[in-house]
């Protein structure tokens, strides 16, 4: 634990480099002893990138910006282009008509995993939104979040969290880049605009690993809409960790979109703790990357807490998408719902593992899991494993999974009306997934007419599916 203490207290860069190198060696050792075929966590995941990681030294996996190493220049974007990108991202959950185009959201921009404050938008109105980086001693300011992260990984080792901790320590020891960010919403504060975290990269990150880590802490009765969008294009692996704490009565709407380059692999972990009467709603969407794994691990610790997990994965060619949800109900009178859908074409593969654990003293829990898959490709494959582990008596819990193909009669009906097969598949796929976007609009509190009107051309998913097949 001495090394962990030195790491958390951020004493000397040499110690952080030594700690990062030591942890990376342990990570490589864990890869070598990993039995992919028998390991429940990895056996349905694409782990080809492990081979490249194993052959490289830790420094070779990072974009170094310190003396003695080649300097990496950020991708050149005009302010106008970056503003347009942020606006387009925000528009996906907020109609343009409701707010001024250039003032849609508070934004934090990350490039190659490091926070770029000069490109971020934290106006004077966002003074209630506190953002700190690892330039300050976060371990002393927020010991509960930081220490629990390392302690949790010590008790239940997670391969990719270990990689994130190791490379973050190494990167910070070699450079002044800020890969770890702490965001705090104070007590009784509701932000009127969403907070957007936009993750980008540049060509210097080719065959590298980027390692952003964000701690999000909502104090009592605070409320926030948090939009997290990933548009990296060149990296070998993006290893993201989001650590969430919701205190009593806090409410968080968390929207994630992984829209990345064709050769990118992404391991995304979100861990969280939910306390008394807190509410967490999340919707994640995977498409674009070669492979991505989204893991959500939450502990429901307070009576009256509610969690809703929703996810949509749309795959084609040989893409590989995996969702793992682990939810622990530790106290009574709590609720949760897991609702995931996959649309898989060509030779794409999908996997869902939903683990729901209800502790012995957690009476009155109401929880459910559901995973539905639409297989469009003859060689597409889906693995679904909903799991219940219940130790309490007075609970209402259910789980289910369905995997099916496109209805031949429905497809024939549409094509007999002069609609091409490509358009017909887009229409049927849209009908399969549109409930997510209707529910999301309702959760955000402003239903969008574009979703229910006959002309749905402004709905992002509608246009995406038209170009998908």
pLDDT band at residue 71, thresholds of 50, 70 and 90? very low
Averaged pLDDT for residues 359-371 = 96
Phi, psi angle pair for 211, to nearest 5°: -135, 60
Residue 128 lies in a domain: yes
- Cβ–Cβ under 8 Å, residues 249 and 220: yes
Q: Do 259 and 119 reside in the same domain of the chain?
A: yes
Of 302, 326, 344, which residue sits at a domain end? 302
Of 302, 329, 361, which residue sits at a domain end? 302
Of 302, 335, 361, which residue sits at a domain end? 302
pLDDT band at residue 68, thresholds of 50, 70 and 90? very low
- Cβ–Cβ under 8 Å, residues 235 and 260: no
Q: What would the pLDDT profile of 390-412 be if each residue is shown by its tens digit?
A: 999 999 999 999 999 999 999 99
User: What's the domain count of the chain?
Assistant: 2
Residue 172 lies in a domain: yes
CA 79 from centroid of its chain's CA atoms = 26
Q: What would the pLDDT profile of 179-188 be if each residue is shown by its tens digit?
A: 788 889 999 9
Note the pTM of the prediction, 2 decimals.
0.86
Residue 330 lies in a domain: no
More confident residue, 338 or 438: 338
Q: Rounded to whole angstroms, what are the CA distances from 321 to 39, 125, 137, 197?
A: 17, 39, 37, 22
Residue 74 has pLDDT above 60, yes or no: no
Question: What is the rounded CA–CA span in Å between residue 252 and residue 105?
Answer: 16
Residue 22 lies in a domain: yes
Question: What is the rounded CA–CA span in Å between residue 28 and residue 390?
Answer: 35
Residue 342 lies in a domain: no
The residues near 290 (Cβ < 8 Å, ≥ 6 apart) are 46, 262, 263, 264, 265, 318, 319, 320
Residue 19 lies in a domain: yes
Residue 77 has pLDDT above 50, yes or no: no
Q: At what angle do helices 2-9 and 13-32 cross, to 10 degrees?
A: 130
| Lookup: tokens for 38 | 């028998």
Q: What would the pLDDT profile of 288-309 be if each residue is shown by its tens digit?
A: 889 999 999 999 999 999 999 9
In which region does residue 418 sit, left (phi positive, over 0), alpha (psi from -120 to 50) or beta (all else)? left
pLDDT score recorded for residue 70: 35
Q: Do 15 and 152 reside in the same domain of the chain?
A: yes
Q: For the chain, what is the mean pLDDT?
A: 81
Residue 268 has pLDDT above 60, yes or no: yes
More confident residue, 69 or 56: 56
The residues near 200 (Cβ < 8 Å, ≥ 6 apart) are 75, 109, 110, 111, 112, 231, 232
Averaged pLDDT for residues 110-114 = 89
Share of the chain above pLDDT 90, in %: 46
Range of the domain at 99: 2-302
- Cβ–Cβ under 8 Å, residues 265 and 230: no
Residue 339 lies in a domain: no
Residue 370 lies in a domain: no
pLDDT score recorded for residue 92: 54
Q: Do 35 and 153 reside in the same domain of the chain?
A: yes
How many other β-carbons are positioned within 10 Å of the β-carbon of residue 118? 7
DSSP per-residue string spanning 201-240: --GGGTT-EE--EEEEEE-TT-EEEEEEEE---S-SEEEE
Residue 129 has pLDDT above 90, yes or no: no
């Amino acid at each position: 634990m001495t090394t962990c203490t030195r790491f958390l207290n951020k004493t000397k860069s040499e110690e952080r480099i030594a700690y990062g190198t030591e942890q990376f060696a342990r990570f490589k050792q864990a890869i070598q002893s990993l039995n992919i075929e028998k390991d429940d966590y990895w056996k349905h995941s694409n782990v080809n990138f492990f081979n490249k990681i194993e052959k490289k030294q830790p420094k070779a996996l990072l974009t170094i910006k310190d003396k003695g190493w080649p300097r990496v220049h950020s991708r050149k974007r005009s302010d106008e282009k970056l503003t347009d990108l942020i606006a387009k991202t925000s528009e996906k959950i907020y109609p343009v008509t409701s707010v001024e185009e250039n003032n849609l959201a508070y934004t934090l921009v990350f490039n190659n995993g490091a926070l770029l404050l000069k490109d971020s938008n934290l106006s004077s109105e966002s003074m209630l939104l506190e953002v700190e980086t690892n330039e300050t001693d976060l371990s002393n300011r927020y010991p509960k979040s930081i220490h629990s992260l390392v302690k949790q990984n010590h008790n239940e080792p997670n391969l990719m969290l270990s990689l994130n901790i190791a490379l973050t320590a190494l990167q910070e020891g070699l450079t002044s880049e800020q890969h770890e960010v702490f965001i705090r919403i104070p007590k009784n504060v509701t932000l009127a605009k969403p907070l957007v975290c936009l993750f980008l990269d540049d060509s210097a990150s080719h065959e590298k690993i980027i390692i952003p880590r964000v701690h999000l802490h909502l104090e009592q009765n605070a409320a926030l809409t948090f939009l997290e969008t990933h548009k990296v294009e060149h990296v070998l692996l993006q290893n993201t960790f989001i650590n969430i704490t919701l205190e009593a009565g806090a409410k968080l709407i968390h929207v994630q979109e992984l829209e990345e380059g064709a050769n990118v692999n992404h391991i995304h972990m979100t861990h969280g703790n939910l306390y008394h009467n807190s509410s967490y709603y999340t919707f994640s969407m995977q498409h674009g990357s070669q492979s991505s794994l989204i893991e959500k691990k939450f502990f429901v610790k307070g009576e009256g807490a509610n969690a809703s997990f929703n996810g949509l994965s749309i795959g084609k060619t040989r893409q590989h998408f995996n969702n793992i949800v682990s939810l622990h109900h530790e106290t009574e009178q709590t609720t949760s719902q897991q609702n995931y859908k996959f649309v898989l074409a060509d030779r794409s593969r999908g996997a869902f593992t939903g683990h729901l654990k209800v502790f012995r003293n957690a009476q009155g829990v109401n929880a459910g899991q559901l995973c539905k898959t639409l297989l469009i490709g003859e060689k597409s494959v889906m693995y679904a494993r909903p799991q219940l582990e219940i130790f309490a008596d007075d609970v209402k819990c259910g789980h289910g999974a369905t995997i099916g193909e496109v209805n031949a009669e429905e497809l024939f009906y549409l094509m007999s009306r002069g609609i091409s097969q490509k358009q017909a598949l887009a229409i049927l796929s849209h009908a399969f997934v549109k409930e997510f976007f209707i529910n999301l609009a309702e959760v955000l509190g402003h239903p969008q007419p574009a979703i229910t009107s006959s002309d749905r051309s402004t709905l992002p998913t509608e246009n995406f599916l038209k170009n998908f097949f």
